[in-house]
Chain A
Amino acid sequence: MQLPARLQQVRVARTAQKRRLICQAGGKVMLEVSDLQAKVADTDKAILKGVNLTICEGESHAIMGQNGSGKSTLSRVLVGDPQYEVTGGSARFQGQDLFDLEPEERARLGLFLSFQSPIAIPGVSNIDFLRLAYNSRQKALGKPEVEPLQFYGHVMPKLDTLHIDPSWLDRSVNEGFSGGERKRNEVLQLAVLEADLAILDEIDSGLDIDALRDVATAVNGLKRGNTATLMVTHYKRLLNYIHPTHVHVMRAGQIILSGGIEVADVLENEGYEGITNLLKKEPALQTT
Chain B
Amino acid sequence: MSLACKAGCLHSKSPGSAQLPTRRSFFLAKGFRLKERAAPREARQTYLAAARRSSAHRTYCQSGGGTSVSAREQGVEQADAPPSESAAPPVLPQNGAVSAAVRDSWVGHLLDTWADINASPDTPELLQELHEECGAALQSARMPNTRVESFRFTDVSSIIKSQPQVPEAAEGAARGMLSSHMLREDHELRAVIVDGCLDQGLSNLSGLPDGVYIGSIRDAPEEVVAMRLGAQATTKGTPFTQVNGALAQDVVCIVLPPGAEVTQPLHLLHIASGREQSVSLNSPRLLIILGRDAHLQILEEFCPLDSNQRECYLTNATAEFELAEASSLQHGYVNLESIAAWHVKSTLVNQAARSHYALTEANLGGRISRHDVVISQMGPETETTMRNLQVCGERQVHDLHSSLRLDHPSGRAQQLHKCIVASSTGRGVFDGNVQVNQKAQQTDAAQLSRNLLLAAKGAVFARPNLQIIADDVSCTHGCTVSDLEEDQLFYFTTRGIGAEQARKILVYSFGKEITQGFRYPKLEARLEVAVNDLLSNAGAL
Judge whether A21 is part of the interface by a CB distance below 8 angstroms.
no
Report which residue of A124, A129, A137, A140 has the largest number of chain B beta carbons within 10 angstroms of its beta carbon. Answer: A124
Residues of B within 8 A of A80 (CB): 493-494
Judge whether B26 is part of the interface by a CB distance below 8 angstroms.
no
Q: For the complex, give the distance between the alpha carbons of A123 and B510 in Å.
A: 7
- Asked whether, in the complex, the Cβ of A107 is within 8 Å of the Cβ of B509, the reply is no
Given A81-B490, A119-B487 in contact, is the A133-B496 Cβ separation under 8 Å? Answer: yes
B interface residue count range (under 10 / 10 to 19 / 20 to 34 / 35 or more): 20 to 34
- Asked whether, in the complex, the Cβ of A121 is within 8 Å of the Cβ of B495, the reply is no
Given A123-B509, A132-B505 in contact, is the A104-B497 Cβ separation under 8 Å? Answer: yes
Q: Which of B449-506 contact A (CB under 8 A)?
A: 486-488, 490-499, 501, 505-506
Judge whether B512 is part of the interface by a CB distance below 8 angstroms.
yes
Residues of A within 8 A of B498 (CB): 104, 136
A interface residue count range (under 10 / 10 to 19 / 20 to 34 / 35 or more): 20 to 34
Q: For the complex, give the distance between the alpha carbons of A103 and B486 in Å.
A: 13
Contact digits for A175-190, partner B, Cβ 8 Å, 1 yes 0 no: 0000000000000010
Contact for A119 among B491, B496, B505, CB less than 8 A: B491
Contact digits for A101-145, partner B, Cβ 8 Å, 1 yes 0 no: 011101110001101001101111000010011001100100000
- Asked whether, in the complex, the Cβ of A123 is within 8 Å of the Cβ of B495, the reply is no
Judge whether B149 is part of the interface by a CB distance below 8 angstroms.
no
CB A242 to nearest CB in B, in angstroms, measures 21
Judge whether B168 is part of the interface by a CB distance below 8 angstroms.
no
Residues of B within 8 A of A121 (CB): 488, 491-492, 506, 509
CB B271 to nearest CB in A, in angstroms, measures 30
Residues of A within 8 A of B497 (CB): 104, 132-133, 136
Contact digits for A90-109, partner B, Cβ 8 Å, 1 yes 0 no: 00000000000011101110
A-B contacts counted at CB < 8 A amount to: 66
- Asked whether, in the complex, the Cβ of A136 is within 8 Å of the Cβ of B495, the reply is yes
CB A42 to nearest CB in B, in angstroms, measures 11
- Asked whether, in the complex, the Cβ of B495 is within 8 Å of the Cβ of A193, the reply is yes
Contact digits for B115-130, partner A, Cβ 8 Å, 1 yes 0 no: 0000000000000000
CB A98 to nearest CB in B, in angstroms, measures 13
- Asked whether, in the complex, the Cβ of B487 is within 8 Å of the Cβ of A133, the reply is no
Residues of B within 8 A of A133 (CB): 495-497
CB B452 to nearest CB in A, in angstroms, measures 12
Residues of A within 8 A of B513 (CB): 122-123
Judge whether A238 is part of the interface by a CB distance below 8 angstroms.
no
CB A236 to nearest CB in B, in angstroms, measures 28
Q: For the complex, give the distance between the alpha carbons of A248 and B499 in Å.
A: 34
- Asked whether, in the complex, the Cβ of B493 is within 8 Å of the Cβ of A107, the reply is yes
Judge whether A63 is part of the interface by a CB distance below 8 angstroms.
no
CB A135 to nearest CB in B, in angstroms, measures 9
Report which residue of B506, B509, B516 has the largest number of chain A beta carbons within 10 angstroms of its beta carbon. Answer: B509
Q: For the complex, give the distance between the alpha carbons of A205 and B514 in Å.
A: 35
CB B481 to nearest CB in A, in angstroms, measures 18
Contact digits for B269-281, partner A, Cβ 8 Å, 1 yes 0 no: 0000000000000
Residues of B within 8 A of A88 (CB): none
Ranked nearest first, the 8 interchain pairs of A and B with the lowest CB-CB distance are A123-B509, A107-B496, A136-B496, A103-B493, A133-B495, A123-B512, A104-B493, A108-B496
Taking A104-B492, A124-B505, A133-B496 as known contacts, 10 extra A-B pairs with beta carbons closer than 8 A to each other, sorted by chain A number, are: A80-B493, A103-B494, A107-B493, A107-B496, A113-B494, A122-B513, A123-B513, A124-B509, A136-B495, A136-B497
| Residues of chain B having any CB pair with chain A under 8 Å | 486-488, 490-499, 501, 505-506, 508-510, 512-513, 516
| Residues of chain A having any CB pair with chain B under 8 Å | 79-83, 102-104, 106-108, 112-113, 115, 118-119, 121-124, 129, 132-133, 136-137, 140, 189, 193
- What are 11 A-B pairs with beta-carbon distances under 8 A? A82-B486, A104-B493, A104-B499, A113-B494, A123-B510, A123-B516, A124-B506, A133-B495, A136-B496, A136-B497, A136-B498
